[in-house]
Amino acid sequence: MNQHLARIICAIILVITSYQSVQAAANNFTAQQIRTGDNLLGILKRHGFSTREREQVLGSDVGLRRLFLTLDTRYLVRRSSGETELRVFDSQTSDAFRIIKRGKTIQAFKYDPKYKITSMRIDGKVHGSVLGSILPKINSNWVATRFMDAYVFDVKSFRSLRRGAPFWFTVEKKYEEGQFVKYGEILQTSLEIDGEVVRKKFMRSKDGGVFFNDQDLLEKRVFFSPVNYIKIASKFQPNRLHPITRRRVPHLGVDFELPIGDPVLAAKKGVVVRYGNNRAAGNYIVLRHPNGVESSYNHLYKIDRRIREGLAVNTGDKIAEVGCTGYCTRAHLHFALKIKGRMVDPLKYIKPYPQNMHSMLASQVARN
Ligand SMILES: [Zn+2]
């Protein structure tokens, strides 16, 4: 091929590619599905980020290294001439990030999406497990487990629900740049338990929120929730398989799943009997309450500076922050209750809300 012809061909190719770039620039974000086994590295690789660029992105913000993605979340991609932008949304927390590649320059930072939120209603009947009854209608483990969270104080075992028990709920759908990216909270729920329809409403607080109905305020339970946001990762199971060692190890407390740094509250007025660090519990605190009751809080990130043996704390005082120290795969609070030397199921003894929400919920009930 002579040089002249080669130059003409090159010019034509240039015209075609730049035309395509102009076309792409006119396009907005497209939403992309998270694939099984995906993580941020895989997504960046798929969109042309080199090894060095991927490392640069991960080094830009700790939240990006901790990013947790599930199949019900989408991410956004926009490509224009010489620029690629990704927007990624943590499936578990409200964290969102913009990742921009412009030529050789990489920028990655946290941002506040201005979500457009709609709500959607799902109706169904329980056949088999609750999870198995919800997932065919809305393919999101998050949504299905949030529904179960709403009833965790009311239903002893979800397996005991009557076959065909009707349920419904409304759930938030979050849109960014006109695209659906993730589900939000379940807002209202209804479930038939032992022939009775039990409804719940998600009540937001300044730093959390709980599922609630008027009956919950009449609960005689003397302890309060030790966290502002109740998301159950693992229940009290005297005979369970340990997630790490795969051996049968009883789980003698309840695990509340929360981001690192969220406050841990004293479930009731008491005195610090022990605190410190050990291999399994990580950083922990044990409080003693009247009548031979002890509450314990494990896997803490930070123990409050005031904590000393013998220190008296009030119900709802912040005593520590949620972490993942000791035997732990994901940030959570392991909360346990011991009554007269025996470990009991904490969910049978705590109210379904923290102490600081009591007056807000009481005024809500008064209005109804
Ligand atoms: Zn636990």
CATH architecture of 222-350: Distorted Sandwich (2.70)
pLDDT value at position 163? Answer: 86
Q: Map residue 102 onto helix, strand or coil.
A: strand
Q: Is the pLDDT of residue 204 over 80?
A: yes
pLDDT value at position 5? Answer: 53
* Range 235-252 average pLDDT: 82
What is the Å distance from ligand 1's center to 257 Cα? 10
Q: How far apart are CA 295 and CA 280, in angstroms?
A: 17
Out of 5-14, 182-191, 323-332, least confident range: 5-14
- Provide the residue count of the chain: 368
What is the Å distance from ligand 1's center to 88 Cα? 30
The chain-wide mean pLDDT, for the chain, equals 90
**pLDDT tens figures, 25-36:** 446 899 999 999
Confidence of residue 23 (pLDDT cuts 50, 70, 90): very low
**pLDDT tens figures, 323-344:** 999 999 889 999 999 999 999 9
Q: Is the pLDDT of residue 226 over 60?
A: yes
Q: Is the pLDDT of residue 170 over 60?
A: yes
Q: How far apart are CA 351 and CA 256, in angstroms?
A: 14
Q: How far apart are CA 169 and CA 306, in angstroms?
A: 43
Q: How far apart are CA 64 and CA 55, in angstroms?
A: 11
Q: Map residue 10 onto helix, strand or coil.
A: helix
What is the Å distance from ligand 1's center to 254 Cα? 6
Q: Is the pLDDT of residue 8 over 90?
A: no
Quote the distance between the C-alpha of residue 294 and its chain's center.
28
What is the Å distance from ligand 1's center to 339 Cα? 18
pLDDT value at position 27? Answer: 61
What is the Å distance from ligand 1's center to 139 Cα? 27
Q: Is the pLDDT of residue 168 over 70?
A: yes
CATH architecture of 3-110: Roll (3.10)
* Range 38-43 average pLDDT: 94
The residues spanned by each domain of the chain are 3-110, 114-219, 222-350
Residues in the 5 Å CB sphere of ion ligand 1: 253, 255, 334
Q: Is the pLDDT of residue 18 over 60?
A: no
Out of 14-23, 227-236, 238-247, least confident range: 14-23
> Residue 303 is inside which H or E element, if any?
strand 302-303
pLDDT value at position 198? Answer: 94
Out of 7-16, 165-174, 309-318, 341-350, least confident range: 7-16
Domains 3-110 and 114-219 share a fold: yes
Confidence of residue 254 (pLDDT cuts 50, 70, 90): very high
Q: Is the pLDDT of residue 200 over 80?
A: yes
Q: Give the global pTM.
A: 0.84
Q: Which two tokens stand for residue 336?
A: 């346990």
CB neighbour list of residue 229: distance below 8 Å, 6 or more residues apart = 207, 208, 209, 210, 256, 258, 262
Confidence of residue 273 (pLDDT cuts 50, 70, 90): very high
* Range 267-278 average pLDDT: 97
Check residues 88 and 15 and name the one with the higher pLDDT. 88
What is the Å distance from ligand 1's center to 244 Cα? 12
What is the Å distance from ligand 1's center to 166 Cα? 32
What is the Å distance from ligand 1's center to 223 Cα? 18
Check residues 5 and 300 and name the one with the higher pLDDT. 300
Q: Express as a percent the part of the chain with pLDDT over 70.
A: 92
What is the Å distance from ligand 1's center to 255 Cα? 5
CATH topology of domain 114-219: Nuclear Transport Factor 2; Chain: A, (3.10.450)
pLDDT value at position 19? Answer: 44
pLDDT value at position 4? Answer: 61
Task: Find the distance separating the first CA and the last CA of the chain, reported in whole Å.
Answer: 85
